[in-house]
Amino acid sequence: MRILLVEDEETIAAPLADGLRREGFDVEWAATGAAALDASAPDLVLLDLRLPDTDGLDVCRRLRERSDVPIIVVTARGEEADRVVGLELGADDYVVKPFGLRELIARIRAVTRRTEHRATTAGPLHVGALEVDERARRASLDGRELDLTPKEFDLLAALARDPGAAISRRRLLEEVWQTNWYGSAKTIDVHMAALRKKLGRPGVIETVRGIGFRLHVA
């Protein structure tokens, strides 16, 4: 696996890259946002938010706009607002410094498992007039293709895999963001509101009070 490590401090980047290489990863280091955006396509990105030329959140947004590459934010910025914004911009996980190498590797492998599952899922999922094709990353309702962000698509797919079941917010965080952070559910609610709007049918996704959400089966 080729990892793009975006970190401006060499004292942090060098030992981290060495540790990852000892675990069998191929690591490329970028010290600026510009270098990260110019790098050849990696299999996964480890992204610091404090960069000398731009905000790492902007790098996250621009990377997500052009690909579905897994992105793990690795930063000292641990405030809830930063976590929410990072996840909403498309990060797959958020790790706050200081952290252990073993924890980071576990996060990398968890995100990778989700990506591989998405790539090998056989056949589109059909729930009434809704079709979700995880391999092609496309979804349609009544034959109309939906213009979804990566996280909106992942939320819809998570619900479509178990239609009619009440899916908890915690489970959605685990499946969609691959994170053990169970703080504010605001990030899920924001994405759900946008997803419902794009579906054009508020009743397709039902809120289950005190639990989470359910995909309505007509």
pLDDT digits (tens, 9 = 90+) for 76-87: 876 777 777 777
Half-sphere exposure of 34 (CA within 13 A, CB side): 2
- In this predicted structure, what is the pLDDT of residue 182? 47
- What residue segments make up the domains of the chain, in order of their start? 2-119, 123-215
Q: How far from chain centre, in Å, is Cα 166?
A: 22
37: three-class secondary structure by DSSP: helix
Predicted local confidence at residue 201, as pLDDT = 87
Q: What is the pLDDT of residues 123-173, one digit of tens each?
A: 788 999 999 998 888 999 999 999 998 889 989 999 998 899 898 888 888
Please report, as a single letter, which amino acid is at residue 165: A
Domain 123-215: give its CATH code. Answer: 1.10.10.10
For residue 15, is the peptide bond before it cis, meaning its omega torsion is within 30 degrees of 0?
A: no
Q: Is 156 helix (H, G, I), strand (E, B) or coil?
A: helix
Q: Which fold has domain 2-119?
A: Rossmann fold (3.40.50)
Token pair recorded at residue 112:
């990778």
pTM higher than the cut 0.95: no
- What percent of the chain is modeled with pLDDT above 90? 48
